[in-house]
Amino acid sequence: MNQACGIVSVAKMTTERHAAEYNMKHKQRGMALIFNHEHFDVPTLKSRAGTNVDCDNLTRVLKQLDFEVTVYKDCRYKDILRTVEYAASQNHKDNDCILVAILSHGVMGYIYAKDTQYKLDSIWSCFTADRCPTLAGKPKLFFIQACQGKSLGDGITMLRTDHIETDGESATNYRIPNHADFLFAYSTIPGFYAWRNRLQGNWFVQALCAELATNGKRLDILTLLTYVCQRVAIDVESNNLDIPECNQKTQIPCIMTMLTRVLRFSDK
């Protein structure tokens, strides 16, 4: 324990130093926290019709992957922070990983709680290795369904052509960065809008749930998320004839990873 800072500087090794894959053979998969926001106190924010469909689908597929899922509805920021701080304080030694999903409105650099906007790092920083040592060396996954701006993706039409041009110390102790083993999957890239169907839910969450349901125990997470990006980028576009500037628009998710090994949700 670092007495000066009140943080932990030593944690138990859960995966051998040069192991290619994360150890996913603990007793439990781990917690999955879903913060589902439909209604807001902020006057400028509309209700998010369709988000409950996303939440239900995500809950279902995460339970299929053996997560212990808890849903939090329309929380204020202080309640979100209190919830994640409590989760980080728990003993995760028997868990493979942790997952946090946030379904809400957002702007560049911020996500909305029911009452105010906040930066995501105020949430994920609770789970760094020094602050949550029983998750040190384990995957910490964040799925963020929120706009990151107001820009609309026009896309470009791809034309098919027939001519294509192509140009032994695993048991020793080791140190890891406090910010290692995080993964962030955003519904869209910085500065851009994230599309939502009022009946079927958000494009990103629809694709994520479809891939997790079909390939969640077969593919590693980065390959799976690549196919999520493919589904969103290629298979859907906006259809709004009443507002031409919002018609035939596209979207691409954004994946940021600090994972240090291959992650697969193997059978329990």
Residues annotated as catalytic (active site), given as ranges: 105, 147
CA-closest candidate to residue 62, choices 104, 21, 22, 31: 31
User: Residues near 17 by Cβ (< 8 Å), separated by ≥ 6?
Assistant: 169, 170, 171, 172, 174
| Cα(228)–Cα(241) distance, integer angstroms | 27
What are the residues whose beta carbons fall under 8 Å from the beta carbon of 184, sequence distance 6 or more? 120, 124, 142, 144, 255, 256, 257
What's at 62, amino acid-wise? L
Token pair of 267 as six digits: 């059978």
DSSP letter for 241, please: T
Backbone region of residue 30 per phi and psi (left: phi > 0; alpha: psi in -120 to 50; beta: other values): left
What are the tokens at 60? 């279902």
